[in-house]
Amino acid sequence: MNFIDKAFENRLQCDDFLREIMLNIYSHSEIRDIIINYPQFVADAIAIIDYDTDLAMDGDIFVNDSDKYPDIITALHNCGIDNDVEILQQLNDLFNNNEDVFWNEFDTLYSKLTWNTDIYRFWKLVKNYISNSLSDFYGT
């Protein structure tokens, strides 16, 4: 039984559920291979944790973690953080079409991400989505 299964078995609620993912996802990366077997909100929670980690560490998901970009966009959209989706799509377009312009615009656009402008609102939106998803999953 992996940490996601244990979280469900213990009927963990939002904060504890997210904490389990934060504590385990990087040491138990094999979960990524079977994530398709879980509800979408689990993949979204993992993508949000990846996004948060990337932004906290270097702020650049386009160079180092481009394979995670589609999952991050989906997760942000599902959480209702569409401002960041729009900004990331602008950055992605620039990165793919004109890397010089990308680097010139990066700081300006990056500074407008909800993660940077209102981290409290960012996590409130994430937690609302995860809480509602867990309630639906548990049938409560």
How far is it, in rounded angstroms, from Cα 50 to Cα 29? 12
Give the pLDDT of residue 56: 84
Question: Which amino acid makes up residue 13?
Answer: Q
Three-state DSSP class for residue 100: helix
Instruction: Kindly indicate the confidence band of residue 128, based on its pLDDT and cuts at 50, 70 and 90.
Output: very high
Three-state DSSP class for residue 80: coil
Number of domains present in the structure of the chain = 1
Average pLDDT, the chain: 91
Question: Which amino acid makes up residue 73?
Answer: I
Q: pTM for the full model? A: 0.91
Give the alpha-carbon dihedral of 73, 79, 83, 84, to 10 degrees.
-40
How far is it, in rounded angstroms, from Cα 101 to Cα 103? 5
Q: Among 14, 20, 46, which Cα is nearest to 33's?
A: 46
Residue-number span of the structural domain to which 25 is assigned: 3-138
Indicate if the pLDDT at residue 63 is higher than 60. Answer: no
Q: How many CB atoms lie within 10 A of CB 139?
A: 5
- Model confidence over 69-106: pLDDT tens digits? 899 999 999 999 999 999 999 988 888 888 888 888 88
Q: Are 12 and 20 in contact (CB under 8 A)?
A: yes
Alpha helices in 25-140 (DSSP H): 40-57, 69-79, 82-97, 99-110, 114-117, 119-138
Q: Among 39, 50, 44, which Cα is nearest to 5's?
A: 39
Question: Which amino acid makes up residue 68?
Answer: K
